[in-house]
Structure 1
Amino acid sequence: MKQVTLNHIHEALGAKMVPFAGFNMPVQYEGVNAEHETVRNGVGVFDVSHMGIFKISGPNALALIQKVTSNDASTLVDGKAQYCYFPNTTGGVIDDIITYRVNENEYLMVVNASNIEKDWNWVSSHNDVNATLENLSDGYSILAIQGPKAIEAMQSLTSVNLADIKFYNFVIDTFAGVKDVVISATGYTGSGGFEVYVKNEDVETVWNKVFEAGANWGIKPIGLAARDTLRLEMGYCLYGNELNDEISPLEAGLGWVTKFTKDFINSDNLKAEKEAGIKNRLVGFELIGKGIPRHDYEIVDAEGNVIGKVTSGTQSPSLGKGIGMGYVPVALAAEGSQIFIRIRKNDIEAKVVKTPFYKK
């Protein structure tokens, strides 16, 4: 089992540690609901150093990225990031990722922890343009400093005006006394804030300074369980749940990051699928009856026919009701459609709702 650099700090803070994607990771500290609340209303810090980072550089870096990703990276300018995915050749998704343009000859890709090796092998195998590939995953740590108070709480740690960094933009500058830190206005919570990418040898310094700077704002460490409830309230996909090697990205609602203005792996088949029309669609739903929907629970129609499965579900800490996502036939995917979630042999009424579930 791999350990993140700050493993000893999480254990000293009393975190409950669990195996996740081959890493020993903090799943919670004081408790999911309290941590969730901290990020929605204040500021919290996640250690997400299990995530992977690839560097793609050289004059043909963009050509490789354009081939293996769904979005159009030619629209990026220096300091801009974009969400996209790696399509496979059989209609599914290898991973969903974020691409960062440092300059015209240098890009970073942040990938999911469970897919680092798979992604690396995939990108490497398609590198017929001799771009320079470096897997930085084992040398870097990532801290996600999230919440509406993140910017004011962290401003003392850098001369960069954090409020000026727009969503999905980033700078590389000094942060907490450490040079060349990537400060990115991204996150997986829907509550604002940013993520910082630092070398492993610097991350303990940065962590300590972040907690000193944020003390007056009630800053707290946040575990992966609250990260999941926060992302689910926003309707964000999680690889392995909403996305996998079989599920169509178009059915997953990723048409907005699928750009047919360029050629990429499997683009012809995806274009044909779009033109023919998708059969199922990923939807968000709220329970009308009592209960908590969980991953893999069956979704049924009014007659009791199984029409799909819950991909993610929880009791929403912000809304106080059961929410979830899952794939249903297009005919039942419209907002307001009545569906039922089979919870311990009982079919509990739910309705399809527009995501995000949580509105600020």
Structure 2
Amino acid sequence: MTDDLLTGPLHDRHLALDATLGEFGGWSMPISYPGGTVAEHTAVRETAGLFDVSHLGTVPISGPGAAAHVNTCLTNDLGRIGPGRAQYTLACTPSGGVIDDMIVYLAGDDDLLLVPNAANSTRIVSMLAEGAPDGVVITDRHRELAVLALQGPRSAEALAAALGAAGPAVADLDYMAFTDIEGGSVRICRTGYTGEHGYEVVLDAAAAPAMWDALLDAVRGVGGVPCGLAARDTLRTEMGYPLHGHELSEEISPVQAGSAWAVGWDKPSFWGREALTAERAAGPARRLRALRATGRGVPRAGMTVLDGPDGAPVGTVTSGTFSPTLRTGVALALIATDPAVAIGDELVIDVRGRALPVEVVKPPMVPSHVR
């Protein structure tokens, strides 16, 4: 672990729990805890898990016309939601590649909060500020706010127990809805990155240790555990959720990545609109596909996908792992659209010179319980 990595407000808590720490987006973050990634993954699928994701950026945007400004920059259409709702959206390059994907919380026309990825937060702030109209204030609070994620089928029960009197109403939020409690200092949203019922909590960094303690006690009370980023990765891969730098990048557009649903195609302007509209009309040269191994082996990012055991290359694995739920290897891969590949087709992944047979499947690869 290098000394120049950033640490979040819960770093001491993770050390006390004997977490295995690793670098993620320039931050020292918990990768797993002593029980192991499979146990953490299983807890989220069966009971509840608590993640520290305070490496994520936090960018309040305020002032007259704040929402209108953001809507001319990011892909999704804020007109689709109202105050008190959150939305998944993308920031794209002029050529249609993805600079970052993020959640935007809309409190009002002049009050938003963006939660971008750690490595891209500063760039997103700079890009939004460059064209902001007078009166729109964009603030980088990356080091001042913490983000926690409570996920799993018993997460509502755990949240209600941790929050006391405020708990039951907050736990009953609709999917992608949020509310502020404790005088507006704590924001809780019904969202997450695991495919399970869950919540994300944004609050002042100074208040994060006490909130972590309360949530972790409640999670353990329903049979859950603290979880690291390794479990977060296996959980999201089972769901087919993209990870920036793997399924989304400046070389991979939302049309290719299956994220076109997060584009407001009828909006007159957003970053990358012309290129994305053209690609959508022509059809992408490759598309993201979910693959499930039918033989023994674990696919990994960067491996080549072939059209048969001795066949020609047709794509590249973007994410690959062992699925603790399915007990087999799973992958996401960018696959050429010519010739077309359909659900149920059989392909092969070159795993260090050995042919691993896989089936093209429809994501999510395990049932989703987010709504």
- Name the TM tier (shorter chain): over 0.9
Residue in 2 that maps onto 1:269? 275
**1:305 corresponds to 2:312:** yes
How far apart are 1:275 and its partner, in Å? 1.0
Q: Normalising by the residue count of structure 1, what TM-score does the alignment of the two structures yield? A: 0.96
Instruction: Give the Cα separation in 2 of the matches to 1:291 and 1:214.
Output: 33
- Select which of 3, 10, 14 maps to 2:14: 10
CA RMSD, aligned part only?
1.4
Structure 1, unmatched stretches of 5+, are: none
SS of match in other structure, 1:214: helix
Residue in 2 that maps onto 1:222? 227
* More displaced stretch, 331-340 vs 192-201: 331-340
Over 4 Å off, 4+ runs: none
Give CA deviations for 1:211-257 in whole Å, capped at 9, x if unaligned: 23333212311000000000001100000000001112101111111
Residue in 1 that maps onto 2:356? 348
Contact persistence 2:64–2:135 (CA under 8 A): no
How far apart are 1:103 and its partner, in Å? 1.7
One-letter code aligned to 2:342: A
Give CA deviations for 1:259-294 in whole Å, capped at 9, x if unaligned: 121121221221111111111100001111110000
Structure 2, unmatched stretches of 5+, are: none
Q: Structure 1 186/16 Cα, relative in aligned 2: closer, same or farther at 3 Å?
A: same
Q: Normalising by the residue count of structure 2, what TM-score does the alignment of the two structures yield? A: 0.93
Instruction: Give the Cα separation in 2 of the matches to 1:310 and 1:215.
Output: 36
Contact persistence 1:53–1:108 (CA under 8 A): yes
Contact persistence 1:63–1:129 (CA under 8 A): no
Give CA deviations for 1:276-320 in whole Å, capped at 9, x if unaligned: 111110000111111000010111112421221100001100000
Instruction: Give the Cα separation in 2 of the matches to 1:291 and 1:45.
Output: 30
Contact persistence 2:185–2:204 (CA under 8 A): no
Instruction: Give the Cα separation in 2 of the matches to 1:209 and 1:73.
Output: 34
Instruction: Give the Cα separation in 2 of the matches to 1:338 and 1:220.
Output: 37
Map 1:233-248 to 2 at 5 A: 233-248=238-253
Instruction: Give the Cα separation in 1 of the matches to 2:99 and 2:131.
Output: 13
Q: Structure 1 276/179 Cα, relative in aligned 2: closer, same or farther at 3 Å?
A: closer
Provide the aligned length of Structure 1 versus Structure 2: 357
Map 1:1-360 to 2 at 5 A: 1-29=5-33, 30-128=35-133, 130-156=135-161, 157-158=163-164, 159-160=166-167, 161-174=169-182, 180-262=185-267, 263-302=269-308, 303-330=310-337, 331-359=339-367
* More displaced stretch, 124-133 vs 184-193: 124-133
Give CA deviations for 1:7-56 in whole Å, capped at 9, x if unaligned: 11101101001111111111000201000011111111100000001111
Instruction: Give the Cα separation in 2 of the matches to 1:137 and 1:285.
Output: 35
One-letter code aligned to 1:137: H
* More displaced stretch, 281-290 vs 157-166: 157-166
How far apart are 1:64 and its partner, in Å? 1.5
